[in-house]
Chains A and B, each alone.
Chain A
């Protein structure tokens, strides 16, 4: 599972990254969380407000810091869809 967190590194982006890492650990599944701050990548993901979270290529959250509990739900849903 590849989780990407888009953002240039402001505090909210860092919080989103930490939340996704925590969620991945809680979900207990294989995968990694990546920080993406390259502008061109952000435009490709249609980022207009950071942070944006993407799981296996699908955007799950835009412009806000997700809670760990909802992040786990997304991860579970994504796993179920595979």
Chain B
């Protein structure tokens, strides 16, 4: 009896034809776009007409910021996480492993970094993934390029940066992240540090089967997109809202230029300090980016702020602890050091350019 009821559910779901699903999706996109375009006027109306706040006062400024940014960022987040969720079904870890197998370095490093962005990755599977890559003959440096890019280039961070600073900053984030992952992985590969991988990793015998990629139907892909939104946005939205609230407060209340004195360009030590602070910290991107927005507004330099953000989300203590299972301490130290150095260079570079 339960079987039939469950089977019924399943059949109804599978019977909704693809064209219908696509039509619904298109409609949702149109609605999304219309709502998105009306956010700024709606926020202004809410703050200045409905609540009657003054546009020059602290609280008016903060509320207007929040009323616009919060729904805007959340909407962008839903759209992008959904899209990325679908893209990720095309780049399963199995497929990535196949693509990277047997590549030599340089090309492999670039590919691994690119794939790190689009392959779904959870740090809890870092160890079996590492071993699966080793089994496929993927060089250490290439694997590390992947492991650097995957957490550092995060679609939530991307959306937030795009939403709050525009496409240029978002593009900078992605391209510098890719550069760091590629170069750091390549450098570590050149250093020939394989002897610092735990011995048992190379000794482990397994017949290497089971890594074939699955076939997925479009309905599965759309489902994956929806699951991604539910899991990611569902988990992250309180942090986003909280971060924007803090950002709104800074926007409304902190005087211009306050940050410039210690996060501005003239403070040469700001970038290393930002990186040193950021490395041991770990937060999801959602909470950090809105705060960075406000800091930047108040005079912090772009390079310093970006360096801080990348250090926080790119390197995490939990991840290094997990990697300790397969990498010896020396290699972990080199790993963290090279990535931190890369972030540092990027930070200085952007302070110099902008």
Contacts and interface: CB of A to CB of B under 8 A. Distances in A.
A49 B125 contact: yes
A48 B125 contact: yes
Given A43-B206, A48-B97, A69-B10, 15 more contacts: A9-B124, A10-B124, A39-B131, A42-B127, A43-B204, A48-B93, A48-B94, A49-B122, A49-B129, A50-B122, A50-B125, A62-B92, A63-B92, A72-B2, A73-B10
Interface stretch (B56-64, B170-178, B209-217): B209-217
B108 to A, nearest CB: 17
A57 to B, nearest CB: 11
Contact of B122 (A10, A43, A46, A76): A10
B211 A43 contact: no
A47 B122 contact: no
Given A8-B124, A26-B2, A50-B122, A43 B132 contact: yes
A64 B122 contact: no
B218 to A, nearest CB: 16
Nearest to B208: A46
A12 interface: yes
Contacts of A63: 92-93, 120, 125
B226 to A, nearest CB: 12
Contact of B224 (A12, A64, A69, A70): A64
Contact of A47 (B7, B9, B121, B132): B132
Interface residues of B, number: 32
Top 4 A-B residue pairs of the complex, sorted by shortest distance between their CB atoms: A46-B210, A48-B93, A42-B128, A10-B124
Contacts of B10: 69-70, 73
Nearest to A63: B120
Most A C-beta atoms less than 10 A away, residue of B6, B204, B209, B224? B6
Contacts of B125: 7-8, 47-50, 63
Interface string A44-55: 111111100000
Contacts of A7: 124-125
Interface string B105-134: 000000000000000111011011101100
Interface of B: 2-3, 6-7, 9-10, 92-94, 97, 120-122, 124-125, 127-129, 131-132, 135, 204, 206, 208-211, 214, 224, 227, 231, 325
Given A46-B209, A50-B122, A69 B6 contact: yes
A61 B325 CA distance: 25
A10 B128 CA distance: 14
A59 interface: yes
A62 B224 CA distance: 12
Contacts of B2: 26, 28, 72
Given A12-B122, A59-B210, A72 B135 contact: no
B214 A62 contact: yes
Nearest to B95: A48
A76 B3 CA distance: 9
A59 B122 CA distance: 19
A13 interface: yes
A76 B6 CA distance: 12
B128 A47 contact: yes
Contacts of B208: 46
B214 to A, nearest CB: 7
Nearest to A27: B3
A65 B234 CA distance: 15
25 contacts: A8-B124, A8-B125, A10-B124, A12-B231, A26-B6, A27-B3, A28-B2, A39-B128, A39-B325, A43-B204, A43-B206, A46-B209, A46-B210, A48-B92, A48-B125, A48-B128, A49-B120, A49-B129, A62-B94, A63-B93, A63-B120, A64-B224, A69-B6, A70-B10, A76-B3
A64 B227 contact: yes
B132 A48 contact: yes
B127 A39 contact: yes
A69 B9 contact: yes
